[in-house]
Amino acid sequence: MEKPMNKFSVPASELNKQKEYTELVRTVLSSRFPSGKPRAFVHTYGCQGNVADGEKLQGMLYEMGFDFTSDVNSADLVLYNTCAIREHAEDRVFGNVGALKPIKKQNPDMIIALCGCMTQQQRVADKIKNSYPFVDIVFGTHVAHRLPEFIYRSLCLGKRVFETADSDGNIVEGLPVKRDGTFRAWVPIMYGCNNFCSYCIVPYVRGRERSRDFDTVVSEVRSLVASGYKEINLLGQNVNSYNKELTADRQFPALLRAINEIEGEFIIRFMTSHPKDCTRDLIEAMADCKKVAKHLHLPVQSGNNRVLSEMNRHYTREKYLSLIEYAYELMPELSITSDIIVGFPGETYDEFKDTLSLVESVKYTSLFTFIFSPRYGTKAYDMDDPVSRQEKGEWFNKLVALQEKIAGERTSSMKGRSYRVLVEDKAKHDGILSGRTQGNVIIEFEGDEGLIGSFADVRVTNPRTWIVYGELV
Ligand code: SAH
Ligand code: SF4
Ligand code: F3S
């Protein structure tokens, strides 16, 4: 058992209690399912941090005796691990939960559980309590490690469970993990967020910023690499403020350097970096560390200083561009990606044009673009928002068209060059594989399926805008 690291650590006694519940559930399930294991359908929405949580939920379910199915109709337990980042994300979950009602009618013993960022909001938990009586278990992000107890209360006591109390958050080490991938691993290094960007729900549903212990993270990565993982994704809402309260030798650039020292061929990726805390130290560490992918996801959100200030982002267009300049100076091949919000409340067309000009000058590899979605409880929710959805849609299309042009220019310059890629999957066509360059460009080429999960050198023969085609070298 890990020693308690800081005030956020969950004590061993609480985890031991959960182990007892795990055993109780296991015993009950094995008598209810004498000829096989019950099946769980687990689906995670949202960011990679949520995916990492989902893998722990799966780990706990596995220890309770569940097997997994991808067919929701035949599941004994359905668990949706939800996301609240935009309205659309929530609508999808409500739609999918609604669709479970007739399935549960057929199979009244099915347990339906909802967790994650969406259910951490009291408003959502209340709506489910009142309007979705067939949902058995609802819990928030801060108590996910108590899943065994919640299953016990539902399965053995027949009670509906609602556990969504607010909290500053915690750090739980030592939970079982059932990973989806065999060569790509998600490794959270910090949780929560203190930034309160005015549009964002995350700080309200994920609690305060808190970092995992440096040596614990390094040894987790070491054992992942030893067991064959080839891509390590270090995760946090703002990895640049990892261990902010400690000395530089425990902060994020130092963590990258320490992980880079681990023996073996593997690639290190990280997200997300907040520009306000992105330092020259970080850029230098990226440039120095051979195993760190030359890809920086640095969400700018807007290219206009007034909008950035209303968003509470704490950097200016000029500061952002100077970071980019330094990064390109040290790594001319660097691939930069970003998130952009179109139509923040009060944004004018002239201000939006500053975003276009910034995008033009940075030359991003790709962009994640979003139309502003009001999130209840955030500051921006109450701001005046005079621009119509339709007009925002037109701005959005302009941005997408601009980025398409830039992406096409970038990928055409890849022609004839070779890239070392991690082969990830079969592509849609037979005999074709797909992988990603360090810079996160998808590349497809002919090859044997046995290559999946290993590195290969691929020369680009036919670059298209979003996918480049190539051949094994
Ligand atoms: N912590 C990361 C972002 C995580 S959320 C960062 O600060 O960069 C991922 C992206 O969702 C954000 O970068 C933002 O572009 C988008 N987003 C967040 N809240 C949104 C909202 N209310 N409406 C539209 N997009 C939003
Ligand atoms: Fe949201 Fe801002 Fe925190 Fe990112 S840094 S999670 S956008 S509040
Ligand atoms: Fe969504 Fe929560 Fe991640 S709101 S984006 S799942 S932190």
**How many Å lie between the centroid of ligand 2 and the Cα of residue 133?**
33
206 lines ligand 3 (CB under 6 A): yes
3-state SS, residue 461: strand
| Residue having the nearest C-alpha atom to atom 4 of ligand 2 | 237
User: Mean pLDDT throughout 245-254?
Assistant: 97
Give the 3-state secondary structure of residue 251. coil
**CB of 110 sitting under 6 A from ligand 3:** no
Check: CB of residue 425 under 8 Å from CB of residue 436.
Answer: no
pTM as predicted? 0.97
Give the DSSP H or E segment for 271. Answer: strand 267-271
CA angle 286, 51, 115 (to 5 degrees): 140
Residues 151, 157, 163, CA angle at the centre, nearest 5°?
50
pLDDT of residue 3: 53
Q: Is 241 in the pocket of ligand 3 (CB under 6 A)?
A: no
Beta bridge partners of 341: 370
Predicted local distance difference test score (pLDDT) of residue 2: 46
Are 193 and 203 contacting, i.e. CB atoms less than 8 angstroms apart? yes
184-228 tens-digit pLDDT: 999 999 999 999 999 999 999 999 999 999 999 999 999 999 999
**Angstrom distance (rounded) from CA 344 to CA 338:** 16
Q: What mean pLDDT comes out for the span 265-269?
A: 98
Closest Cα to atom 3 of ligand 1: 237
- If you average pLDDT over residues 362-381, what whole number do you get? 97
Residues 6 or more apart from 20 whose CB is under 8 A from it? none
- Indicate whether 471 pLDDT > 90: yes
Q: Is the dihedral of CA 360, 364, 368, 374 positive or negative?
A: negative
Is 4 a residue whose pLDDT tops 60?
A: no
Q: What angle do CA 412, 367, 270 make, to 5 degrees?
A: 100
Ligand 3 touching residue 54 (CB < 6 A): no
Ligand nearest to the CA of 209: 2
Least confident of 52-56, 282-286, 387-391, 426-430: 426-430
Q: What is the pLDDT of residue 5?
A: 57
Q: What is the pLDDT of residues 271-330, one digit of tens each?
A: 999 999 999 999 999 999 999 999 999 999 999 999 999 999 999 999 999 999 999 999
Instruction: Please give the average per-residue pLDDT across 62-87, as a whole number.
Output: 97
Is the per-residue pLDDT at 404 higher than 90?
yes
CA–CA separation, 188 and 195 (whole Å): 18
Query: Six-digit token pair at 396?
Result: 């959005």
**Ligand number nearest to the C-alpha of 370:** 1
